[in-house]
Amino acid sequence: MLDLITHPAEHVVAMKAGGIVTGSELQRAIDAIEAAKRNHPLISLVVEIDNLRFMTLTALLKDVGYGLTQLGDLDRYHRAAVVTDQAWIELFAALEERLFKAVEIRTFASHEHAAAMAWAAELPPGAHENPEEDGYHGA
């Protein structure tokens, strides 16, 4: 199961994964990411993982294929918050952080869900679509 979850910041795509993830569920997440990229110069992700067992072969191939297409587009991704209590996923996230230095990846324990959502919503100075959010209040 992979479901999109609501996030108050429009540039953040949030989802929850657990059990068995199918190709169609993963496609919904990919579509949400692509929609966010069309509407915002920088996006962030929140992925809450609870008791993930595995991905179907279709989902796995789709995940790897989409991931490869994003290698040239990593500058569009700001942060990825991974919310989990599964140690193997924390190790995987740490490896991804080292491999994909353009994206800031941080893991949070399940009880830190609110902190993960807030962290993912933060944008670097100058990246806000509304200049007032970057501290500019006119001349």
What length is written for the chain? 139
Between the CA of residue 16 and those of 42, 52, 54, 72, what are the distances in Å? 21, 10, 14, 26
- pLDDT tens over the chain, length 139 residues: 999 999 999 999 999 999 999 999 999 999 999 999 999 999 999 999 998 888 999 999 998 999 889 988 999 999 999 999 988 888 888 888 877 777 899 999 999 999 999 999 999 887 656 656 555 545 5
Residue 129: the pLDDT is 62
**What's the DSSP call for residue 16?**
E
State which amino acid sits at residue 103: V
